[in-house]
Amino acid sequence: MIEKEITNANTNIKKIIAVMSGKGGVGKSSVTSLVALSLKNEGFNVGVLDADITGPSIPKIFGVNKERALSKNDGIIPVETASGIKIISLNLLVSEEDSPVVWRGPLISGAVKQFYTDVSWGELDYLLIDLPPGTGDVSLTIMQSLPLDGIIAVTSPQDLVNLIVKKSINMAKMMSVPLIGIIENMSYFVCDKCNEKHFIFGESHIDEVASNEKLKVLYKLPINKNLVSLSDKGQIEDFTTVESDLYLDFSKNIIDELR
């Protein structure tokens, strides 16, 4: 049995939640950011560990991609967002954010573990881990080596994605990590003119998938142009006011499950 990694003396984390998707392109990092924002606005101390080493996007979403994490005697100091969410990502450690990471699997997995053990996170109520897509080395390393309290699976309505998300769910079950539930992103689109829902990717089957896996659907997040735009601009924290009704509804559903 692989022993769990331990943090440094400057870190105390109460809960660790991983956010996982079976494939790329489903908006997992945006969902991770919204979950972090929801927790922070409820008064919790929150950190985000960007474990997608070769395709990190968390710093860009929060608008801290031009900053750099500092290494001090007591560990690596994470960068803080405008609202005080602590972030660590490889993009905050390299000289240029567009520098490619051409590493083999073991080196990538080692870096992710160091983000947990060598970063001075301080007192955190929640550490969210934005996993890379799929069920590869990094996801396996984190499930084996870190004391996860649960996993949120992110999917989208396409049948292919629903098939792949089952692999992520089965991996979590194999590793005996609790599954908190599923968030379906890009579930539908609300037309500005007719105010009706349009299911661009086809009718959702997430309720059926969740029922078969005995899981809860945490939220069905619509395609939202403001979420996309704010993420691209690094202003995700403004989503709370730009789309206050949607944000509050999402936040309430997520917070109820993570308390």
> What pLDDT, in 10s, does the model give residues 113-124?
999 999 999 999
Tokens encoding 192: 């500005």
Euclidean distance between CA atoms 239 and 224, whole angstroms: 11
Give residue 24's region: left, alpha or beta (phi > 0; psi -120 to 50): beta
Whether the Cβ atoms of residue 246 and residue 211 lie closer than 8 Å to each other: no
Residue 195 domain-assigned (yes or no): yes
Residue 170 domain-assigned (yes or no): yes
Between the two ends of the chain, the Cα-to-Cα distance in Å is: 30
Provide the domain limits for residue 140: 11-252
Tokens encoding 124: 């955190």
The whole model's pTM is what? 0.94
Q: Provide the 10 A C-beta neighbour count for residue 172.
A: 22
Residue 4 domain-assigned (yes or no): no
Q: Provide the 10 A C-beta neighbour count for residue 104.
A: 8
**C-alpha distances out from residue 64 to 59, 82, 226, Å:** 5, 9, 19
> What pLDDT, in 10s, does the model give residues 71-89?
888 899 999 999 999 999 9
**C-alpha distances out from residue 101 to 27, 110, 141, Å:** 21, 14, 19
CATH of the domain at 217: 3.40.50.300
Residue 258 domain-assigned (yes or no): no
Residue 2 domain-assigned (yes or no): no
Residue 50 domain-assigned (yes or no): yes
> What is the total count of domains within the chain?
1
Residue 160 domain-assigned (yes or no): yes
Residue 211 domain-assigned (yes or no): yes
Q: Percent of the chain scored above 90 by pLDDT?
A: 71
